[in-house]
């Protein structure tokens, strides 16, 4: 009944991590809750390479994305999109009455640092959103180059969506100058869905202080101020089961060694990309192909639904394309605790099912 998931999240969660979700409850206003949150923060700072404050949210990543664009835009947000999740960030801005403009790249292409420069040079914007790793198209943006441009505009709050890459790819938040970096538990971190995490800079905090209507649950300034005042406890009841499991899984991630973990993700990506190029084609511009999910162009016009049905007999699952790309592409997720050997096994089974 349970399948090995090679979809781009949620991912397989190891049994010991699942067991941590069943830890007996503690009071969320207890000293133990403060200790737990601080322990998570300290470890997340290492994974994100940041000294900025860490906020947890009992929501998936969308909640913090909405909170970021609403809490910190006073003037206008420049939303750069390379696919479905970039566009959603624009929809969130509009739904919250935040003035915003959407700058979309052709699907399969990365965000152009030159375009970022041109847009920010207009002086119209005080917040920018960038997708680090677009899970629909399999594009991993050149965030180093993009960040160099953004640094020319110190008045702009830089928000980065690393929902499907943090924990699998080296993203040095402080070097990049990211003000709000958002991720979710159910992707490269290897936990069940239901919690998200962000880092937040002093610049973002100061920006939020000048915004009047920041909403309620996802008011990032309120969350920040509350945890400072209340010894790292939250204004509302957090998902303590996620926190127990996250604290434990972060130890496992750090024990693996971040360099090893990042190298493993790159190896898995290279393996799937080579296979895709040999048998189909990559959807994403190869120079910017993701290390955590490969979107494969369905050049042979196979039925992805049928392939998945056959795969399920072996206990495996991959993903069809996202939205309009549904049958035009299919996606193989290679993230979290998945190993290269497991990826190779999956590819061998696909080859057995469809003669390539």
Nearer to ligand PLP, 129 or 308 (CB): 129
Q: How far is the CB of 189 from ligand PLP (least distance, A)?
A: 11
Rule CB under 6 A: choose which of 41, 52, 62, 111 binds ligand PLP: 62
Q: How far is the CB of 32 from ligand PLP (least distance, A)?
A: 27
Q: Is 67 in the site for ligand PLP (CB under 6 A)?
A: no
Nearer to ligand PLP, 82 or 221 (CB): 82
Q: Is 126 in the site for ligand PLP (CB under 6 A)?
A: no
* Closest residue by Cα to residue 340 from 281, 260, 255, 280: 260
Q: Is 190 in the site for ligand PLP (CB under 6 A)?
A: no
Rule CB under 6 A: choose which of 131, 141, 295, 298 binds ligand PLP: 131
Phi, psi of 296 (to 5 degrees): -105, 130
Size of site (CB under 6 A) for ligand PLP: 14
Q: Is 108 in the site for ligand PLP (CB under 6 A)?
A: no
The angle, 0 to 180 degrees and rounded to 10, between the axes of the packed helices 258-279 and 340-353 is 20
Q: Is 218 in the site for ligand PLP (CB under 6 A)?
A: no
Q: Is 113 in the site for ligand PLP (CB under 6 A)?
A: no
The encoded tokens of residue 16 equal 């010991």
The encoded tokens of residue 114 equal 């030159």
Pairing of strands 127-131, 157-161: parallel
Q: Is 184 in the site for ligand PLP (CB under 6 A)?
A: yes
The sign of the CA dihedral 210, 215, 221, 225 is positive
DSSP assignments along 217-255, one per residue: TT-HHHHHHHHHHTTT--SS---HHHHHHHHHHHHHHHH
Contact 17/245 with Cβ under 8 angstroms? yes
Judged by the rule CB under 6 A, the positions of this chain that interact with ligand PLP are 9, 60-62, 85, 131, 133-135, 161, 163-164, 184, 196
């Amino acid at each position: 009944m349970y399948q090995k998931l090679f979809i781009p999240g949620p991912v397989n969660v190891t049994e010991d991590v699942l067991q941590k979700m069943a830890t007996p409850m503690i009071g969320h206003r207890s000293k133990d809750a403060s200790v737990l949150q601080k322990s998570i923060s300290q470890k997340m700072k290492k994974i994100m390479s940041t000294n900025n404050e860490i906020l947890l949210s009992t929501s998936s990543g969308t909640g913090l994305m909405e909170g970021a664009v609403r809490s910190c835009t006073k003037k206008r947000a420049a939303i750069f999109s390379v696919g479905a999740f970039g566009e959603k960030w624009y929809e969130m801005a509009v739904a919250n009455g935040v003035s915003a403009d959407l700058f979309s790249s052709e699907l399969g292409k990365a965000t152009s640092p030159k375009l970022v420069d041109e847009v920010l040079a207009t002086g119209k914007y005080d917040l920018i959103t960038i997708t680090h790793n677009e899970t629909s198209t399999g594009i991993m943006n050149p965030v180093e180059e993009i960040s160099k441009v953004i640094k020319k505009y110190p008045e702009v709050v830089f928000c980065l969506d690393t929902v499907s890459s943090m924990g699998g790819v080296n993203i040095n938040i402080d070097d990049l100058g990211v003000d709000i970096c958002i991720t979710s538990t159910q992707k490269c971190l290897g936990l069940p869905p239901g919690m998200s995490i962000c880092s937040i800079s002093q610049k973002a905090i100061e920006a939020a202080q000048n915004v009047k209507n920041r909403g309620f649950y996802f008011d990032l300034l309120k969350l920040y101020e509350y945890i400072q005042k209340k010894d790292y406890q939250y204004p509302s009841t957090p998902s303590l089961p996620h926190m127990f499991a996250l604290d434990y899984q972060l130890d496992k991630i750090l024990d693996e060694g971040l360099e090893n973990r990042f190298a493993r993700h790159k190896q898995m990506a290279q393996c799937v990309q080579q296979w895709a190029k040999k048998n189909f084609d990559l959807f994403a511009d190869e120079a910017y192909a993701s290390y955590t999910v490969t979107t494969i162009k369905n050049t042979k016009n196979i039925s992805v639904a049928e392939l998945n049905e056959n795969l399920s007999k072996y206990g495996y699952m991959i993903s069809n394309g996202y939205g309009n790309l549904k049958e035009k592409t299919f996606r193989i997720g290679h993230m979290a605790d998945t190993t290269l050997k497991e990826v190779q096994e999956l590819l061998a089974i696909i080859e057995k099912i469809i003669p390539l």
